[in-house]
């Protein structure tokens, strides 16, 4: 069993978690077509397709595929792009950032550290305090209100 260290918001500490490895075929069975295309085939949802702009309560955005804590509601901001945007992940431990040269652009892709799910990209035009804009696909995330943690 391969494991990694990730930050758990509920326990407020770094924990050891098993790395989730599944074949594309297995993910296809577990996810909707849209979720599969985005998380597994690195797709991008239509701007505004995700209903997270209507969320106005504290909570955590988790990885759809493996449940890893990814973003706090308190770091969400309105970027005007139509994609859910955050200025900081829960922890650098919980995401992997890597160069993506697709579409003839050099961008930084953001993936879930635990299951490798494609989440979106990060840009340097975000608000203070980090100046980062984590531009995410809502279909790669699930929101859990604080009261249900």
Task: Name the site residues for Zn ion (rule: CB under 5 A).
Answer: 63, 65-66, 68, 112, 114-115, 117
List 50, 66, 112, 135, catalytic entry: 135
Cβ 131 to Zn ion shortest distance, Å: 25
Closest CA relative to residue 61, chosen from 47, 41, 79, 77: 77
What is the distance in angstroms between the CA of the first residue and the CA of the last residue of the chain? 27
Q: Which is nearer to Zn ion, 75 or 117 (CB)?
A: 117
Residue 68 or 85 having the CB closest to Zn ion: 68
Q: What are the DSSP calls for 19-70, one per residue?
A: PP---HHHHHHHS-HHHHHHHTT---PPTT-SGGGG--S-EEEEETTT--EE
User: The tokens 């955005």 sit on which residue?
Assistant: 61
Known catalytic residue at 112: no
Shortest Å distance, C-beta 67 to Zn ion: 7
65 or 76: CB nearest Zn ion: 65
d(CA 64, CA 66): 6
Q: Which residues are catalytic?
A: 135
């Amino acid at each position: 069993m391969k494991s990694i260290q990730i930050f758990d918001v509920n326990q407020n500490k770094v924990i050891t978690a098993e790395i989730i490895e599944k074949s594309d075929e297995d993910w296809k069975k577990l996810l909707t077509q849209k979720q599969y295309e985005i998380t597994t085939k690195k797709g991008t949802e239509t701007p505004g397709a995700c209903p997270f702009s209507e969320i106005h309560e504290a909570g955590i955005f988790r990885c759809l595929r493996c449940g890893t804590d990814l973003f706090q509601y308190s770091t969400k901001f309105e970027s005007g792009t139509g994609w859910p945007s955050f200025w900081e992940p829960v922890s650098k431990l919980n995401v992997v950032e890597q160069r993506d040269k697709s579409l003839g652009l050099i961008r930084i892709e953001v993936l879930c550290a635990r299951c490798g799910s494609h989440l979106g990209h990060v840009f340097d035009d975000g608000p203070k305090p980090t100046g980062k804009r984590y531009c995410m696909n809502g279909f790669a995330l699930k929101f859990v209100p604080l009261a249900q943690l």
